[in-house]
Amino acid sequence: MAFTFKFIIQLFLTMMLAAVFTPLVKLLAFRIGAVDMPNKRRINSKPMPTAGGLAIFLAFSLATLWEFRHDLFGTNVLPVLVGALIVVITGVIDDVKELSPLQKITGLIIAALEIYYVAGIRINTMSIPFLGMFHLSWLSLPITILWILAITNAVNLIDGLDGLAAGISMIALVTIGIVSYFYLPDNGIVISIMIFTLVASIMGFFPFNFHPAAIYLGDTGALMLGFLISVFSLQGLKNVTFISVLTPMFILGVPITDTIYAMLRRFFNRQPISSPDKMHLHHRLMSLGFSHRGAVMTIYALAIIFSFIALLMNYASTTAIILLVIMTIFGLELFIELIGLVGENRQPLLHFLKFFGNRQFRQEVMQKYLQKRKDK
């Protein structure tokens, strides 16, 4: 009980630390030119200070190195912070000067290599149902780096509305923290302490970032949060099993889904993968009439559903998990097509359901098909 009360007080102090740092970082952002100017890609109508993630990083670093130094003594917390620092430096430079995608990826790869070699956080083995366990050997490095890059960029891509990436990150981190505490036998408590310390740091920043925002996360914050989420989830993936790889993927279901469908959308439209557009999940919700806060809260609700499914997986059998995954994918695809995330003309599941459930629609489709054959 004494430890729990002390832990809560320490988290509260961490949150207050972030709340104090945020206005200072806001002043710094204006001073160094880390400002989002209004343009056709932005939703802000006035210059907005960015790089707000620096306040989160400072609070998180001070808390882990000072407040929780006794609880985290002898762990790899310092190498993790060094990796995050590399990402923060990359993000700050991008917020000020706007790096190219290659330059940004280079910074993330350097941070991922530091995590792999210095922190020693990596994927070593993989267990596939009905096939057995495989030692990854040399594949461990590229798979670990790919995981870090994928999750980091997924969180960065979802950062399009006030408070969106910060809120999604808190939901994901709390879920990962719960899973780590109850299901990681080795260092689950240590990981949970670091995770909830990061959550407290985000909470201190969050009031300044929720709509109407006074400061943005920027790439400094979005990349840093995505990076730390990928690293924390990796510590539960050291020896990958079917359930251990699905759990973080479902916890991060919203940013991963948005990223996958963004790639599909650009592929179908014959656009570069890195090209920006205004067809992300939050854009589509707002185009359907959702308010700014309404779109954000809807995505929060979706993230909570994903997290709840991830928690259920830890209690279900393999067969039940497979059925749960199939039904989730079916429901998600239906939702994605209803909001037109890939495009209003690309709705295969809806057309399939209409074809078998609507006689008139079926006749129209057949008439169009016969007409095309006749024209040929």
Please say if the pLDDT value at position 122 is more than 90: no
How far, in Å, CA of 239 to CA of 253, rounded? 21
Q: How many helices (H) and strands (E) does the chain have?
A: 15, 5
In what helix (H) or strand (E) does residue 256 lie, and over which residues does it extend? helix 253-268
In what helix (H) or strand (E) does residue 126 lie, and over which residues does it extend? strand 125-128
Q: In the sheet where 132-135 sits, what is the strand order?
A: 132-135, 125-128, 239-240
How far, in Å, CA of 80 to CA of 198, rounded? 12
Residue 54 pLDDT: 95
* Band of pLDDT at residue 238, cut at 50, 70 and 90: low
pLDDT: which is higher, 1 or 100: 100
* pLDDT cut 90: percent of the chain above it: 31
Residue 314 CB-density burial (10 A; 0-12 exposed, 13-18 middle, 19+ buried): middle
Structure token pair of residue 236:
């539960």
Beta 125-128 vs 132-135: how paired, if at all?
antiparallel
Please say if the pLDDT value at position 29 is more than 90: yes
3-state secondary structure of 225: helix
How far, in Å, CA of 64 to CA of 149, rounded? 24
CA end-to-end distance (rounded Å), the chain? 79
In order, the DSSP letters of 66-122 are IITTTTSTTSSHHHHHHHHHHHHHHHHHHHHH---HHHHHHHHHHHHHHIIIII---
Of 139-143, 347-351, 367-371, the range with the highest mean pLDDT is 139-143
Residue 208 pLDDT: 94
How far, in Å, CA of 30 to CA of 3, rounded? 41
Q: What is the CA radius of gyration of the chain?
A: 22
Q: Is 187 annotated as contributing to ligand binding?
A: no
pLDDT digit string (tens) for 72-93?
A: 766 778 899 999 999 999 999 9
In what helix (H) or strand (E) does residue 35 lie, and over which residues does it extend? strand 35-36
Residue 87 pLDDT: 96
Please say if the pLDDT value at position 322 is more than 70: yes
Q: Is 156 annotated as contributing to ligand binding?
A: yes
Residue 201 pLDDT: 96
* Band of pLDDT at residue 243, cut at 50, 70 and 90: low
* pLDDT cut 70: percent of the chain above it: 81
Average pLDDT over residues 145-161: 89
Residue 60 pLDDT: 95
Residue 314 pLDDT: 75
